[in-house]
A and B are shown apart, each in its own frame.
Chain A
Amino acid sequence: MFTDFGRYILLLKAVFKRPEQWKIYWKNISHEMVYIGVNSLYLIGIISVFVGAVMTLQIAFQLQSDLIPKTIIGSVNRDSAILELSPTISALVLAGKIGSSISSEIGTMRVTEQIDALEIMGINAPGFLILPKIIAGVTMIPLLVIVSIALNIIGGYIGGTFSGAITGADYYRGITEGFNPFTIVVSLVKAFFFGFIITSVSAYQGYYVKGSALEVGRASTSTVVISCISILCADYVITDLLL
């Protein structure tokens, strides 16, 4: 485990070396941004709307009391979405979608000697392959989380009003009352670190693949497991530090 951590740090050191040609790196970064951000929008959107709707119903079920105003349902759903559900669930889903893809892409390049070809040419292979993915991850995942928060809250409105658990007016008042903008900062900090974890861990797993296509598959599976655990640990640490 310590050996792996040491190699991960050394890989990151190589990743952040000065690029040979920024122009080519920018092209790769924009390509990765489309892949990580735009291409994940649909999945994150669907998940966020349903999570928001289900959360509203469950909060309404647990807060069935004449002493508690219905607007609380909106407030709780909003804060849950901002602080936990949107960043963490999005990150866990993206660890599966993007993480396994990055790991298998880089792993395949390793076993087919494409990484060796880069090194022979004198190119900093970790920087060329991994840096664009990390930059795209730490910029696009926070943006996806913002979209997710919005859709989560909209999903809560649809679910709550459709089922009759809460009126539209109560829900709207709930989500607008007592809003603390710092929760958005916490959410974006989480998203930034989750983006870094997903892209760097998956790249590390792929970069050090040895053997054949079978190993690429195994690395892909390990990526999802390690990324998910790392995301949950980071979630706890960031929450503890910031709240």
Chain B
Amino acid sequence: MIEIKDIHKSFGDNYVLKGISGKFEAGMNNLIIGGSGSGKTTLLKCMVGLHEPDEGYVLYDGRDFTRLTKDERIDIRKEIGMLFQNSALFDSMTVQENVMFALNMFTKQSKEEKLERVNFCLNRVNLEGKNDLYPSELSGGMKKRVGIARAISMQPKYLFVDEPNSGLDPLTSIVIDELIDEITNEYNITTVVVTHDMNSVMGIGENILFLAEGKKEWEGSNKEIAHTDNQRVNDFVFASKFAQAAKEKL
């Protein structure tokens, strides 16, 4: 479980996060949603240590990540997997080298063991046999899947996903969402997904945190979000005519 307590973050005069708290349970898809500029990605980056919060705590199963030094954080970092918005695959490495990278850096496994793990992860994301391709030879959806394979290669306890569906067609988006959902349940991972994709919200949003202007505006599940009275949430979730029509049928 990950717990955040009263997270504040500003960049100069720009006050982005204004005291956000929440709990993200293990084995559950925890979604952070909100409009552009609401602070979703900044919150995610504060949680993984890419930004230092001005105030507040991030607790990984009770371990206070924010108070640890850079070196002390390494043990927790080894338990973290992350899928970036643009996949962030290493351009100079093949798919296999990307997935094997953390294994090479942090384990003393034999080459055969590492290769077995890589093939397992690639099979898990339906990319078997693509080991020798370079990121430039992959489609957007395949890059995301390689990103997921890389993120799970070290069997993480915590998985962070930043905008998994950006730039993908609706069908591929569903495939990625289902994959995240399956992996979360299969390995009992604490998954935190930042998204503004409504298909993801309705499809895999077991615990949803809605941010507006740097504050937590609403929290609930995908079943509750359709019936909430919160005007801001309604305006955001049912912004399109398609979503409004779907709501009327609910």
Contact = CB atoms under 8 A, between A and B. Distances in A.
User: A and B bound?
Assistant: yes
B78 A122 contact: yes
Interface stretch (A54-62, A82-90, A111-119): A111-119
Contacts of B101: 121
A21 interface: yes
Given A121-B102, A123-B105, A113 B73 contact: no
B88 A112 contact: yes
B84 A113 contact: yes
A113 B88 contact: yes
Given A20-B105, A120-B80, A112 B86 contact: yes
B74 interface: yes
Interface residues of B, number: 24
B74 A122 contact: yes
Given A20-B105, A112-B86, A113-B86, A120 B91 contact: no
Interface string A91-131: 00000000000000000110011101101111100000000
Interface in B58-114: 73-75, 77-78, 80, 82, 84-86, 88-91, 101-102, 104-106
* Residue from the set A24, A108, A120 with the largest chain B CB neighbour count within 10 Å: A120
Nearest to A23: B104
A114 B88 contact: yes
B48 interface: yes
A119 B71 CA distance: 11
A24 B88 contact: no
Interface string B15-30: 0000000000000000
B188 to A, nearest CB: 20
Interface string B104-134: 1110000000000000000000000000000
A24 B101 CA distance: 10
Contact of A24 (B50, B80, B104, B154): B104
Contacts of A121: 77-78, 80, 101-102, 105-106, 154
Given A122-B73, A122-B77, A122-B78, A116 B50 contact: yes
Contacts of A114: 88-91
Contacts of A117: 82, 84, 88, 90
Interface string A53-86: 0000000000000000000000000000000000
* Residue from the set B48, B89, B102, B105 with the largest chain A CB neighbour count within 10 Å: B105
Contact of B88 (A20, A116, A122, A123): A116
A113 B85 contact: yes
Contacts of B84: 113, 116-117
Given A112-B91, A114-B90, 19 more contacts: A21-B105, A109-B91, A113-B88, A114-B88, A116-B50, A116-B88, A117-B84, A119-B49, A119-B50, A120-B48, A120-B50, A120-B80, A121-B78, A121-B106, A121-B154, A122-B74, A122-B77, A122-B78, A123-B105
Interface of B: 48-50, 73-75, 77-78, 80, 82, 84-86, 88-91, 101-102, 104-106, 154, 160
21 contacts: A20-B106, A24-B104, A112-B91, A113-B85, A113-B86, A116-B88, A117-B82, A119-B49, A119-B50, A119-B77, A120-B49, A120-B80, A120-B160, A121-B77, A121-B80, A121-B101, A121-B102, A121-B105, A121-B106, A121-B154, A122-B106
For the complex of A and B, list the 7 residue pairs with the smallest distance between their C-beta atoms, beginning with the closest: A122-B77, A113-B88, A122-B74, A117-B88, A113-B84, A120-B82, A121-B102
